[in-house]
Amino acid sequence: MSPSRAPPDWLAGFQERFGATLRTPLDASSGTLRPVEQGTGRGLYNRQYWFRLFEVLQGEYPLTARLLGLFPFNLLVQRFAREHPPREWDLRLAGRGFGIWLRTQVSSLPAGLPAAALAEAADIDTAWSEVWMAPEVPAWAPSQEELATLEERFLRASPACRLLEESWPLVSLRRALGPDADARRQPLPPPLPTRQHWMLLRHGEALVQVPLSPVRARLLWALRTKTFGAALAEVEASLPLSEHEALVAHIGTWLAEGLRWGFWVGTADR
């Protein structure tokens, strides 16, 4: 193997200029996004790079993009990419952390869009992407011994499942936004009368939303950090005595349905 050598000065200079060209944001002063150096090769590369990044993020966050409107959304993408430059070879990973970052951009929201709705939309989009990208892991088929000691054990959640809650009917709106969805801005639907809870999961080649009652959702959230027995005791303590019997009656059904859908991949002692 020949010894490594430093690149020639002209190549190092070219790489530096090319990288700076890609990182240069598009000009939004005219109400559209245009390269600063129009009509040049560098301007062309600049525009192609950013429009590809916009396309990727719009695909990963279609609900958030439609609620904001594509132009305001693209401006946020530019700001995010400048603060967190993509470093992976796969540009589809460029949006990692974008949903969390969006929560800090309240001052950039269009009029009439509550910050809580934006955060909810970003959480749903993020969950959708993570569930699709999650590795294949066999569902848990508990042994009699595991069931007998379940109260003392932690349930290991499937990487292809995400708990969601919403105050607006955004999960159904997200499902309706397929590849050919209208690019126009979507108005925020009226809020729901009560918060809705879902388990979003990948089942075969489909994404499924399993509706959850508030008590069941509370139990599933508690199971993320507590043993089965401790989680059940926490939820039971939060309910009036009149509802304890109903909770116990539902546990078997909920556990069986969770196993059927693949909510968990096993148990742990920790």
Tell me the average pLDDT across 78-105. 80
For residue 243, the model assigns a pLDDT of 94
Determine the residue type at 219: L
For residue 3, the model assigns a pLDDT of 47
Which CATH architecture does the domain made up of 134-270 adopt?
Alpha-Beta Complex (3.90)
For residue 182, the model assigns a pLDDT of 75
Residue 185 has pLDDT above 90, yes or no: no
Q: How confident is the model at residue 53 (pLDDT cuts 50, 70, 90)?
A: confident
Q: Is the dihedral of CA 241, 246, 249, 252 positive or negative?
A: negative
Comparing 222 with 30, the larger pLDDT belongs to: 222
Residue 82 has pLDDT above 60, yes or no: yes
Neighbours of 195 (CB within 10 A): 12
Q: Helices 41-60 and 9-23 meet at what angle, rounded to 10?
A: 50
Contact 119, 127 (CB under 8 A): no
Tell me the average pLDDT across 243-258. 94
Residue 100 has pLDDT above 80, yes or no: yes
* pLDDT tens digits for range 9-42: 644 554 445 445 556 666 666 667 665 555 555 6
Residue 186 has pLDDT above 70, yes or no: yes
C-alpha dist (Å) from residue 270 to 13, 154, 241, 258: 53, 7, 31, 21
SS (H, E, C) the chain: CCCCCCCCHHHHHHHHHHHHHHHCCCECCCCCCECCCCCCHHHHHHHHHHHHHHHHHHHHCHHHHHHHCHHHHHHHHHHHHHHCCCCCCCHHHCCCCHHHHHCCCHHHCCCCCCHHHHHHHHHHHHHHHHHHHCCCCCCCCCCHHHHHCHHHCEEEECCCEEEEEECCCHHHHHHHCCCCCCCCCCCCCCCCCCCEEEEEEEECCEEEEEEECHHHHHHHHHHCCCCHHHHHHHHHHHCCHHHHHHHHHHHHHHHHHHHHHCCEEEEECC
Residue 93 has pLDDT above 90, yes or no: no
Tell me the average pLDDT across 244-258. 94
For residue 15, the model assigns a pLDDT of 44
Give residue limits of the domains in the chain: 1-119, 134-270
